[in-house]
Homo-oligomer: A and B are copies of this chain.
Amino acid sequence: MDEQSFSLGDVKDYLLQKGINPSYQRLKILEYLMNSTSHPTVDTMYRTLSKAIPTLSKTTIYNTLDLFMKKELITGLTIEENEVRYDANLSQHAHFKCLKCGRVFDIPGDFFPQIGNTVCEHIVKEKHFYMKGICKYCASRSA
């Protein structure tokens, strides 16, 4: 958790506004996502949230994330095969994955080409842009 900007109350209001029953599990999962910029995997969420909710199961996390995605509160990001990461930041932004430490960073700014609704006659619904390399922390550590 990076900087605690959203309270449980904020999160509850948000869920209610989106027409989602704010159960404790859902509140805590969304709170975690909204206060995180690290694009956690299900396993990361599970290991962290288990401390606060010892009975929490991964099934509930999957169920909840599916619900949030269906209701468009979050998006899933695919950078690596074998793991999906989740992001509550819905603004169009790029991602950077460090090949050393594995962390995923948001890259602000509009890097997205100004293509219209179609490209090569295909209808575009989503655009995804990500980079891989060595993050500034790993770079300075090995320098």
14 A-B pairs within 8 Å (CB atoms) are namely A81-B84, A96-B124, A107-B119, A107-B120, A108-B120, A111-B113, A111-B115, A113-B129, A120-B136, A122-B136, A123-B133, A125-B134, A126-B131, A127-B130
A49 to B115 Cα, complex, angstroms: 38
In the bound complex, residues from chain B placing their C-beta under 8 Å from that of A79 are 78
Q: Which residue of B lies closest to A106 (CB)?
A: B120
**A126 close to B132 (CB less than 8 A):** yes
A61 sits at the interface (CB 8 A) = no
Binding site for B on A (CB under 8 A): 76, 78-84, 96, 98-99, 105, 107-108, 111, 113, 115, 119-136, 139
Query: Once bound together, how far apart are the Cα atoms of A136 and B121, in whole Å?
Result: 6
* Given A111-B113, A130-B128, A131-B127, A96 and B122 contact (CB-CB distance below 8 Å): yes
Q: Compute how far the CA of A139 lies from the CA of B129 in the bound complex, rounded to whole angstroms.
A: 24
Question: Which of B81, B133, B136 has a CB less than 8 Å from the CB of A125?
Answer: B133
Chain B's closest residue to A76 (CB) is: B81
